[in-house]
Amino acid sequence: MNHIFVTGANRGIGLEIVRQLGERPKTTVYAACRRPDSAAELQAVASRAHGTVHVIPLEVTDPAQIAAAKDHVRSHTNALDVLINNAAIDPDDDAQRFGRIDPDVMLHTLHINTVAPLLIAQAFVDLLEASSLGRIVNISSQMGSIAQRDYGGSYAYCASKAALNMSTRGLAADLGRQGIVCVAIDPGWVKTDMGGRSAPLEREESARGLLRVIEHLTRTDNGAYKRWNGHDLPW
Ligand SMILES: NC(=O)c1ccc[n+]([C@@H]2O[C@H](COP(=O)([O-])OP(=O)(O)OC[C@H]3O[C@@H](n4cnc5c(N)ncnc54)[C@H](OP(=O)(O)O)[C@@H]3O)[C@@H](O)[C@H]2O)c1
């Protein structure tokens, strides 16, 4: 796994994934974020990397920027090994409460968390096909599990991740024959802007686990829904 593309790379879990991959001398990371010029931490990670980290602009809802990001990758390599769709939002709890459901909040969340990963996968598929084991990793959430939905609230976020899981299964069926392994992985509850301070997991541990799972993926994992520690999650 030498060429890896990560969205939402300027903070949180995405930044830590890039930092850990950057420690590997033979690895090239395409670290996508909305505003590279103000992504100081990511730029610092890129400058300290033993491998190569390209910081590239990507607002995931912008098709022109998706196309430009793909062109950027293609100018460096003919084959992408891993696409990590990590960027996401989780709007304020109050805006997702039953009684306060706002269609704009729902649709905006679905656009970023569900539609964009699919469009990015669609744009990058030829580069992934050219790898000997291309992988599409959709960073999902336990909150996307319908089987475990025994609590209320978080309508936009939970629906977006359940729909991302469904798209992952579709991608697994469409692309598995071409040798691309498609999975949804929950990073755990992690101390980030999204996860908050009470989260039990540090970013380092989550990212290390995610990368271990991603590295050990085989074709039999195509269509799986896993946790950061490799355990399966119920749909
Ligand atoms: N933290 C947790 O406990 C937890 C639990 C389960 C699942 N997850 C999942 O793990 C992933 C990473 O979460 P995190 O905790 O690291 O979140 P975070 O700290 O809030 O970071 C979110 C990242 O997504 C980017 N992003 C948001 N909207 C974007 C857009 N329209 N275009 C491009 N980038 C955009 C953000 O960029 P800006 O800085 O530009 O906003 C930021 O880089 C997400 O998929 C999340 O759903 C997290």
Question: What residue ranges define each of the domains in the chain, with the CATH number in brackets?
Answer: 3-227 (3.40.50.720)
Q: What is the distance between the alpha carbons of residues 105 and 91, in angstroms, rounded to a whole number?
A: 7
State which of 11, 83, 119 you would mutate to test the pocket of ligand 1, scoring each by most atoms of that ligand within 8 A of its C-beta: 11
Measured in whole angstroms, the distance separating CA 35 from the mean position of its chain's CA atoms is: 18
The DSSP symbol for 219 reads G
pLDDT confidence of residue 38: 97
Tell me the CA–centroid distance for residue 49 and ligand 1, in Å: 22
**Residue whose token pair is 């905006």:** 108
Which runs of E-coded beta strand occur in the chain?
3-6, 28-33, 52-57, 82-85, 135-139, 181-186, 225-227
The pLDDT > 70 percentage for the chain reads 100
Residue closest by Cα to atom 43 of ligand 1: 8
pLDDT confidence of residue 18: 98
pLDDT confidence of residue 78: 97
Residue 14 Cβ contacting ligand 1 at under 6 Å: yes
Q: What is the distance between the alpha carbons of residues 165 and 62, in angstroms, rounded to a whole number?
A: 22
CA distances from 212 to 39, 48, 55, 170, 227 (A): 26, 22, 23, 24, 11
Given a cut of 50, the residues of the chain with pLDDT beneath it are none
pLDDT confidence of residue 54: 98
Residue 112 Cβ contacting ligand 1 at under 6 Å: yes
The answer to whether 83 touches 136, Cβ cutoff 8 Å, is: yes
